[in-house]
Amino acid sequence: MSVDPAVYARLRQIADQLPQVPGIGKVEIADGEIVMMMSPVKRHELAVVRIARQLNAQLPTTHPGHIAHPGADLEDAGLGRLRRPDLMVFAEKSLEEEDAALLPHEVLLVVEIVSKSNPENDYQDKVRDYAAMGIPLYLIIDPRTGTGIAHSEPGYASREKFAFGDTIMIGPWTLDTSVLQTYA
């Protein structure tokens, strides 16, 4: 599963130098390849905003100093992985550091909103990667089907399925999924 460190370093260097291309939302590195993702659609981004809002309302009580934030990179150079989750929960002070990306041990929860174009990435590749990184919680939200899965326990041994409209628990947080919309 890991990639030669020299190969990963070169891929990371190339990824960092890629120009911003209209329609490309994010760049990731997985399985020894640079992966360019399409920009997300509005309902994808709405799901991110609504889940982040709920988490940020609860974090001062459960994890003071932590935030639910989109747009940060997550890197595990040892595994040869650079991911850009749709949303992560981590200590806000982590953003003060000079490092270009968050490290897995800094992240409590990763949230991915399934895209129309590449759903197997979230259901297979990222389940494998986030579990290998040791991320404690992984939430998949699938607007294609109006469903999702809350992964927990080491290696994601626990997988709780839900449908939009359910109130779910992910770690110490309660989320109302009735605020989510399916893709048109």
Q: Phi and psi (nearest 5°) for 6?
A: -70, -40
- In the chain, % of residues over pLDDT 90: 66
Report whether pLDDT(115) > 60.
yes
Out of 1.10.287.70, 3.90.1570.10, 3.40.50.300, 3.30.465.10, select the CATH number for domain 40-176.
3.90.1570.10
pTM of the model: 0.85
Instruction: Considering only residues 140 and 98, tell me which one the structure prediction assigns the higher pLDDT.
Output: 140
Please give, one letter per residue, the 3-state secondary structure of 27-74.
Answer: EEEECCEEEEEECCCHHHHHHHHHHHHHHHHHHHHHCCCEEEECCCCE
- pLDDT at site 3: 72
For residue 169, which phi and psi values (nearest 5 degrees)? Answer: -110, 135
**pLDDT tens sequence across 80-94:** 898 999 999 999 999
DSSP 84-121: --SEEEEEGGGGGSS-SSB-GGGEEEEEEEPPSS-HHI
- pLDDT 10s digits, 19-32: 666 555 677 767 77
Which pLDDT score, from 0 to 100, does residue 140 have? 98
pLDDT exceeds cutoff 90 at 46:
yes
What is the rounded CA–CA span in Å between residue 158 and residue 109? 14
Q: How high is the mean pLDDT of the chain?
A: 89
| Top-confidence range, 33-37, 90-94, 117-121 | 90-94
**Predicted pLDDT of residue 133:** 96
Quote the pLDDT of residue 76: 93
